[in-house]
């Protein structure tokens, strides 16, 4: 989601924010089953959460070159590619 805030630099805190956001998306039940990542079926939701956490760091450290939207998560979701395939069946 580089386009969401167009950060000038990537800093260590962004990696930490991404890791924490990813970890927060794993439920207690998933952890109990031995999973350390959320299921791939939630990849879009999890990706948006991670991108939001990273963008928040960029805005907090004045690294973003785009204005901060009121709803960062909503803005990020609006930028995400939505695969729509024509049905031939």
pLDDT digits (tens, 9 = 90+) for 21-30: 999 999 999 9
Q: Using alpha carbons only, what angle is made at residue 75 by residues 74 and 81, rounded to the nearest 5 degrees?
A: 100
Per-residue HEC secondary structure of the chain comes to CHHHCCECCCCHHHHHHHHHHHHHCCCHHHHHCCCCCCCHHHHHHHHHHHHHHHHHHHHHCCCECCCCCCCHHHHHHHHCCCCCCCCCC
Q: How confident is the model at residue 2 (pLDDT cuts 50, 70, 90)?
A: low
Q: What number is the average pLDDT over the span 78-89?
A: 89
């Amino acid at each position: 989601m580089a386009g969401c805030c167009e950060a000038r630099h990537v800093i260590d805190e962004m990696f930490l924010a991404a890791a924490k956001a990813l970890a927060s998306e794993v439920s207690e039940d998933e952890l109990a089953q031995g999973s350390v990542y959320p299921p791939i079926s939630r990849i879009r939701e999890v990706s948006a959460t991670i991108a939001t956490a990273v963008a928040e760091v960029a805005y907090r450290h004045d690294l973003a070159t785009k204005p901060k939207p009121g709803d960062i998560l909503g803005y990020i979701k609006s930028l995400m590619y939505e695969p729509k395939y024509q049905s031939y069946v």
